[in-house]
Structure 1
Amino acid sequence: MSETPTAVAALHQPFTLPNGSVLPNRLAKAALSESLARRDHTPGERIKNLYRRWSGNGAGLTITGNVMVDRRAIGEPGNVVVEDDRSAQDLAEWADIIKADGAVAWAQINHPGRQAPRTLTPRPVAPSAVALPESGGMFAQPRELTNAEIEDIIARFAATAGHLVRAGFDGVQIHGAHGYLVSQFLSPLANLRTDAWGGTPEKRRRFVLEVARAIRAEIGSDKAMAIKLNSADFQRGGFSEDESIEVVHALAAEGIDLLEVSGGTYSSAAMLGVDPTLKESTRKREAYFLDYALRVRAELPELPLMLTGGFRTVDGMEDAVASGAIDVVGLGRPLTVDPDVTAGLLDGTTTESIVRPKRSGIKLIDSLTELTAYTVQMWRMADGKEPAPRRHPALNVAQYLVRNGRDSVRVGRRGL
């Protein structure tokens, strides 16, 4: 008679957030932009089918992909948009599916700013009229936001958060990473303003702080408010690690319930592990941004930390949590090729993820294969099929292009 595998101790431990909600364990399904909304940008059966497949897989926290706050600003084909109560029933069903087996459900909310293909958002807005680098004409020149428009977007973040929690989500995560609008305001390369919203690090971070304040006022203290933030954008003269740490201190003072650490932008995709500016030692290590997380932990020991990107083995995850370096392990891509991997990691039947970044050494090709491989697996599950991780990358790219068009294929789009 075989012995029952030993469960992983640290990953099994529940975790209480500052708002009082309890995560059943330390594994989280990180945000992945699903591109599965209906044509009117409301969530439908396909996105619910995907989350039904993930429901019951053991993850203590599940975070949805991009939910946009303004239907005039769409970051990817198939984005869900929540501006009002028209999707209340769909949102309630979505939240119920996630929570059916005891997981905590958060929705990630976002505005793309300049980071939106011209076919979806022909007149994008941004902190400053600075085009996205290396866009190849896929993204239109943005227009600088007026003060009134900035205030409107802040109100939209809060309104979207309110609709989501009233529908049954336990909280929201602000997407402040990967080159979207929040990170554009933070970046000295994208934000050239000299008014109250830019010109100094303190003014550049005003936008995200005002968004956090507005959301907290809308959802109250009993619902969770988290943020995904870049450790740095890995661009010369851009948002640095030192400045990021200052932003974290300011957000902690606003009472965020959890910080998810990530990094990179469209032009420097550190979050996918395919960016050539990453040190080889960083790529080989399981957690790409662990050094930054350790720095945050040293300066803000009470701030809950989630780290996503690069985790492969149960030993690496266990060590990161048991050592106190982080509190929650985020898994994104592994769940697209093995939707039950979290359950296996928790019961000891799985020791590592089968995900390995697919690299040819050519940045564009690497970005395309990484982006499309995992998106297509989510589409398969949305259609009632199982993932096909061994499917040839060319087939994934072709399917993605047929469905979403060439303008949608850019690195960094998955809300990872």
Structure 2
Amino acid sequence: MSNQSTLSTPLKLRSGLTLKNRLCKSAMNEAIATGEGRVVRQFEVLYRTWAEGGAGLLVTGNVMVDKRHANEPLAVAVEDEKDALLLQLWANAAKSKGAQIWAQLSHPGKQSPKFLNSAPVAPSAIPLASDMFVPPRELTETEIEDIIQRFTTTASVLKTAGFDGVQLHGAHGYLISQFLSPNHNKRTDKWGGSLENRMRFVTEVYKSIRAKVGKKFAIGIKLNSSDFQKGGFTNEESIEVCKTLDKLGIDMIEISGGSWENPVNRKGNLKESTKQREAYFLEFSEQLKKNVSAPIMVTGGFRSQRAMEEAVESGATDIVGLARPFAIDPDLANKILKGQGYLSTVKPISTGIKKIDDMAIMEISWYTDQIRRMSEGKDPKTKVRGLISVADVLFNFWRRGQQVKRVRA
């Protein structure tokens, strides 16, 4: 292993921006906004911490384009310039050590919990298989056009605030993913039916944002390789969507997979080849790279410096995305780039309580709590402490819900 990691190689994007290295802190919900979705100073503290950690790109957690439709409590919503100064502080902190910051733009569609949203919307009025969500109402064409404009407005506000780019969240069962899926999109107008029609929403979002922000502002997308559901969005369709976005000029494609209904990257049922290479979606990334010229980022599963370097050196991916490892070790990029043979301590969390483990509460919320600690200027905890950690997580989840309820009462 060399003293200087191959991951330290810069990467120039189509926008003309250059990532200083091949490591990205990928999106994780911060859950530190106000109950109304307003930005707070803790974002500045948190992203300065991550900036000092050495990654070339920092992608924020979900930034909602419509505060009425949130994916979880205390998610940020940016609809206008009310929080312009706090957004500038956030962006400046993230860029203080030479990293770029991209905001992940999101609309959850019907994947918005009923304690947050009693009137969710979706491409078609097809409910999710859970009583956590209210059955959605089908969007009108006028409402679809309004949501496209909301994505555009949010991107423009963020550009003005100093963000370097945005990433469209087209994975994990959110609205863009719902439009792409034949299981969730049963429309018979120009927004549904054929793949060309089902991808119209995401291409119109991209084109509208690009027309507003220009070519020097980065636009990427996080897209499912597949939703891993019978009759759903397939590998072949994902490649076709990526080819279309590539021709339109997308700056980066991050590969993911699954949805709330089938969270494949949290189940741990991995093929032996995946275990060896660590990352979940490298095989698909290799297929995709034969079809597009935009840089590819793979997130999910990377734990060792060896596997990260091999993935980039082999050409399987251009950028390594890391999420949970950054929640417990914000300095990990510096450690990797020094060639120290880094190995993350992140492992699946099992509490022994079947209902909690089946819902993957600890796999999400425990790491969210470590992010909150960093936003308060504290060090993250690195180990789960049995039932004490379970109690802490459940209390903080309840507390976040109460903050939202007080605002909406």
Same fold (TM over 0.5): yes
Could you tell me the TM-score, scaled by structure 1's length?
Answer: 0.92
Matched AA of 1:116: S
1:316 equivalent in structure 2: 307
1:403 equivalent in structure 2: 396
1: CA distance, partners of 2:314 / 2:276: 20
Greater CA deviation, 13-22 or 395-404? 395-404
2:287 equivalent in structure 1: 295
1: CA distance, partners of 2:386 / 2:13: 40
Q: 1:115 to 1:304 in 2, by over 3 A?
A: same
Greater CA deviation, 353-362 or 303-312? 353-362
2:62/2:75 contact within 8 Å kept:
yes
2:283/2:316 contact within 8 Å kept:
no
1:305 equivalent in structure 2: 296
1:80 to 76, 83, 90: 76
Deviations 1:298-322 (A, max 9, x none): 122x221111000111111111111
Give SS of 2:290's match. Answer: helix
Q: 1:396 to 1:213 in 2, by over 3 A?
A: farther
1: CA distance, partners of 2:357 / 2:214: 45
Give SS of 2:126's match. Answer: coil
2:93 equivalent in structure 1: 97
Shift of the alpha carbon at 1:78? 0.7
1:412 equivalent in structure 2: none
Q: Does residue 371 of the first structure (1) align with residue 364 of the second (2)?
A: yes
2:133 equivalent in structure 1: 139
1: CA distance, partners of 2:184 / 2:72: 20
Q: 1:395 to 1:151 in 2, by over 3 A?
A: farther
Q: 1:283 to 1:372 in 2, by over 3 A?
A: farther
Deviations 1:205-234 (A, max 9, x none): 111011111110111100000000000011
Deviations 1:32-82 (A, max 9, x none): 111110222111122222212212111011111000000111111011000
Q: 1:153 to 1:396 in 2, by over 3 A?
A: farther
1:123 equivalent in structure 2: 119
2: CA distance, partners of 1:281 / 1:55: 33
Give SS of 1:175's match. Answer: strand
Shift of the alpha carbon at 1:364? 5.1
**What is the number of equivalent residue pairs in this alignment?**
399
1: CA distance, partners of 2:28 / 2:380: 15
1:9 equivalent in structure 2: 5
2: CA distance, partners of 1:255 / 1:36: 33
Q: 1:393 to 1:208 in 2, by over 3 A?
A: farther
Q: Does residue 182 of the first structure (1) align with residue 176 of the second (2)?
A: yes
2:55/2:99 contact within 8 Å kept:
yes
2:333 equivalent in structure 1: 342
Q: Does residue 331 of the first structure (1) align with residue 331 of the second (2)?
A: no
Q: 1:211 to 1:342 in 2, by over 3 A?
A: same
Shift of the alpha carbon at 1:325? 1.6
Q: Does residue 392 of the first structure (1) align with residue 392 of the second (2)?
A: no
1:8/1:318 contact within 8 Å kept:
no
Shift of the alpha carbon at 1:383? 2.0
Equivalences for 1:243-322 in 2 at 5 Å? 243-272=237-266, 274=267, 276=269, 278-279=270-271, 281-283=273-275, 285-300=277-292, 302-322=293-313
Shift of the alpha carbon at 1:7? 3.1
Matched AA of 1:223: F
Matched AA of 1:288: Y
RMSD of aligned residue pairs (Cα, Å): 1.8
2: CA distance, partners of 1:79 / 1:171: 19
Q: 1:294 to 1:6 in 2, by over 3 A?
A: closer
Give SS of 1:166's match. Answer: helix
2: CA distance, partners of 1:92 / 1:358: 36
Shift of the alpha carbon at 1:97? 0.3
1:413 equivalent in structure 2: none
Shift of the alpha carbon at 1:393? 4.7
1: CA distance, partners of 2:321 / 2:115: 32
2:345 equivalent in structure 1: 354
Shift of the alpha carbon at 1:283? 4.8
Shift of the alpha carbon at 1:356? 1.5
Matched AA of 2:70: I
1:369/1:393 contact within 8 Å kept:
no
1:52 equivalent in structure 2: 48
Give SS of 1:84's match. Answer: coil
Shift of the alpha carbon at 1:96? 0.2
Equivalences for 1:51-70 in 2 at 5 Å? 51-70=47-66
1:232 equivalent in structure 2: 226
Q: 1:307 to 1:196 in 2, by over 3 A?
A: same
2:404 equivalent in structure 1: none
1:380 equivalent in structure 2: 373
Shift of the alpha carbon at 1:397? 3.6
Deviations 1:311-351 (A, max 9, x none): 11111111111112211101110001111111100012352
2:351/2:386 contact within 8 Å kept:
no
Shift of the alpha carbon at 1:8? 3.4
Shift of the alpha carbon at 1:236? 1.3
Deviations 1:259-318 (A, max 9, x none): 00111101111233x254x54543554110001000011122x22111100011111111
Equivalences for 1:146-157 in 2 at 5 Å? 146-157=140-151
Could you tell me the TM-score, scaled by structure 2's length?
Answer: 0.93
1:411 equivalent in structure 2: none
Greater CA deviation, 348-357 or 395-404? 395-404
Shift of the alpha carbon at 1:6? 4.5
